[in-house]
Amino acid sequence: MPEIKILPPSLINKIAAGEVIERPSSVVKEIVENALDAGAKKIEIDIEKAGSDLIRVSDDGCGMRPEQLKLAVTQHATSKISETDDLFRIGSFGFRGEALASIAEVSQLVVRSCAEGAEHGAELRVEGGKPLSEPAPCGMRRGTTIEVRNLFFNTPVRRKFLKGALTEFGHISEAVVRLAIPNTDVHFVLRHNGRIVYDLPPSAGMRERISRAFGPEFAAKLIPIEAEGEGVRISGYIGHPDLTRSNYSCQYFFLNRRFIRDKSLQHALVQAYRGMLMVGRYPVAFLEIKMDPSQVDVNVHPTKMEVRFLESNRVYAALLSGIRNEFLRSDMRSRPASGLFGEGGEQNSPQGALDPALAEGVRQDFLEWSGPSPAGRTAPTPDANIYLRPQAAFSAGSKRESAVPEFRPFVLSDTPTPPGGPGREPFGGAFSPGPAGEPGSTPFGAEPSREETALPQDEVPRTPDGKPVVQIHNCFLVFETETGMALVDQHALHERILYEKIRTQFKETGKLDSQQMLVPEPVELSPEEAACALENQKTFRDFGIIAEPFGGNTVLVSGYPPILEKSSPADIFIEVLGILMKRGKENAEPEDLFDEILRRCACRAAVKEGDKLRGDAMRELLRQAQEEINSHHCPHGRPSILLLSVQELEKMFKRT
């Protein structure tokens, strides 16, 4: 029969070390947090071989007296708390009193410290949790230095589970960044094998610290945020929708300067970006939450990264509303990244401009492009810079014809049959100016006769602000702005406008309008699909799709949303059914399910690439974009409007 017995202290400490000291980055985190609690203003971290050989942390904090050194490496010895009530108003990073003891148990530890006003410091050496001698005098300035050598030397199993040097040092760098960002008044230095990785002097604010850690281009895409709720204040920076990651790795939440992980905060952040990010992309955030320590429990996990809020709904609501309000005040339109237009390279360099051979080649290309015969124009070479060679700018990488069509001023002709077939409104009447027979009643995007389309030069299409606008490649709209120019993706913009309209209708009425079909359309399904369709008849009806059983595994589709009249009702039904089946298996939230279906409906109804737009249609599209606050991105997160300033254009043409 097994007998209950008390474990030896050494084994207890090793078990505790397994919870607190997972890898070298855990050691760095615990020691640096102690330095911050000691009031340090400069912390230097030296790492050798990703921390497996040496971790040294030096600070200029308050230091310790010689008689305290042994207590510092004793289990459950701390200066942070003294009574039970202190656990519910913790304002320090550490409080459990087990970090140094756990580190000492699995390494060869040296602690040197000098208290303020002391004549000299003291040194204590510990190996495997046992002090090798009494504290000895040593010369040093005020502060503490802790050296950890041969981590996990006496627990080879744990050492075996360490990853490669690059991975382990990556975790150490991340741990330092998490501590450095909220503590902007502290100078952090991180070295690896003698090389400086981070040198972060005291900063004026979080943005400057982020710029030094992540780079100025990264920091330039951050949007400041300030939000307050009942008993909670949130400040920091969130990323522009163009600045995303493929996971949650760049979401930093700090509670009273402590880095935390919290699923409800992540959910609030993602919800705030709903409809602005592409699928599989996640927002960037650096947010500091300040609240009364008595309203949060940090004594949930030994690593202290998980916390429990007394009223988590208040924090959730403050974060969600704060971000959305900031979006309403911010310019969310996209701008091209630096270097997008081929910066650098031989042809773009000043030396390239002076190269006679290169200049002659570009000249010949231009002459060929501008020649009288379209048949004589040739496509560019594969390695040509498409932004420098004129004919390449129109043809390279394009699905359309490679030759530039002959220029005919303000005459719209030779238009392909509109989508949906002859005589059918191609865009579901979304922008139809009026009923048939009324002035200007040509369906949106349909091609009038040549007599109707020959416009005088003073009647070129214009934006609502009176600026000339042109459609290129039947896909993009280009027009002048006050500070430069704008490029618009007609499909993405129209998709966003339609999405907001049907979303508003769905929220107000709980359903979409439905249009009865003269001839219902039968759809054959698999047994699993048929069962799902019958179970979700009400859901289909809410989205304007009327589907009824027709015997066996056949369903009869007799109604569909009028906004989707250019699409096949059967295809619409199958698409929505696929979403319902997929989301049902994932146990998706109803709101997420409805949102995905609405996005799909808007995508199907919007104008497409290749659809030629009339001038009044362009104007109406841009007018509605001005009224829609989220017109900067489509519902799937792709940018719909791209801005280029005059300064950026001058830079691309090497004018500055």
Q: Give domain limits for the chain.
A: 9-200, 221-329, 460-656
Q: Helix 165-180 vs helix 24-37: angle between axes, to the nearest 10 degrees? A: 20
The answer to whether 9-200 and 221-329 have equal CATH topology is no
* Count of other CB atoms within 10 angstroms of residue 130: 11
Q: What's the confidence (pLDDT) of residue 254?
A: 95
End-to-end CA distance of the chain: 86
Alpha-carbon distance 347 to 388, whole Å?
8
Positive or negative, the CA dihedral 562, 567, 571, 577 is: negative
* Count of other CB atoms within 10 angstroms of residue 369: 20
Alpha-carbon distance 223 to 274, whole Å?
17
Per-residue CA distances from 355 to 151, 174, 350, 360, 592 (Å): 59, 47, 9, 9, 58
Q: Single out the residue of 556, 530, 560 nearest to residue 542, CA to CA.
A: 560
Contact 37, 80 (CB under 8 A): yes
Q: What's the confidence (pLDDT) of residue 601?
A: 81
344: which 2 tokens?
């650098």
Alpha-carbon distance 514 to 506, whole Å?
12
Residues ≥6 apart with Cβ < 8 Å to 418 = 424, 426, 443, 445, 446, 447, 611
Rounded to the nearest angstrom, the gap between the alpha carbon of residue 384 and the centroid of all alpha carbons in its chain is 33
Q: What's the confidence (pLDDT) of residue 615?
A: 86
Q: Return phi, psi of residue 468, to 5°.
A: -60, 140
Contact 123, 34 (CB under 8 A): no
Segment 320-368, tens digit of pLDDT: 998 988 887 776 666 665 444 444 444 444 444 445 555 555 555 555 5
Q: What's the confidence (pLDDT) of residue 584?
A: 67
Contact 32, 56 (CB under 8 A): no
Q: What's the confidence (pLDDT) of residue 488?
A: 92
Q: What's the confidence (pLDDT) of residue 550?
A: 87
445: which 2 tokens?
């995007």
Q: Return phi, psi of residue 392, to 5°.
A: -70, -30
Q: What's the confidence (pLDDT) of residue 368?
A: 54
Contact 463, 479 (CB under 8 A): yes
SS (H, E, C) 239-305: ECCCCEECCHHHEEEEECCEEEECHHHHHHHHHHCCCCCCCCCEECEEEEEEECHHHEECCCCCCCC
Q: What's the confidence (pLDDT) of residue 265?
A: 92
Fold observed for domain 9-200: Heat Shock Protein 90 (3.30.565)
Cross-strand pairs, 189:
44, 199
Question: What CATH number was assigned to the domain covering residues 221-329?
Answer: 3.30.230.10
Contact 21, 102 (CB under 8 A): yes
Residues of the chain with pLDDT under 70: 1, 13, 16-19, 80-89, 91, 94-97, 299, 301-303, 331-459, 584-590, 656
CA 107-109-111 angle, 5° bins? 160
User: Could you confirm whether domain 460-656 is CATH 3.30.1370.100?
Assistant: yes
Q: Single out the residue of 300, 352, 251, 359 nearest to residue 87, CA to CA.
A: 300
Residues ≥6 apart with Cβ < 8 Å to 451 = none
Side-chain-side CA neighbours of 268 within 13 Å: the count stands at 23
Contact 381, 402 (CB under 8 A): no
Per-residue CA distances from 441 to 90, 410, 425, 431, 432 (Å): 70, 20, 11, 10, 7
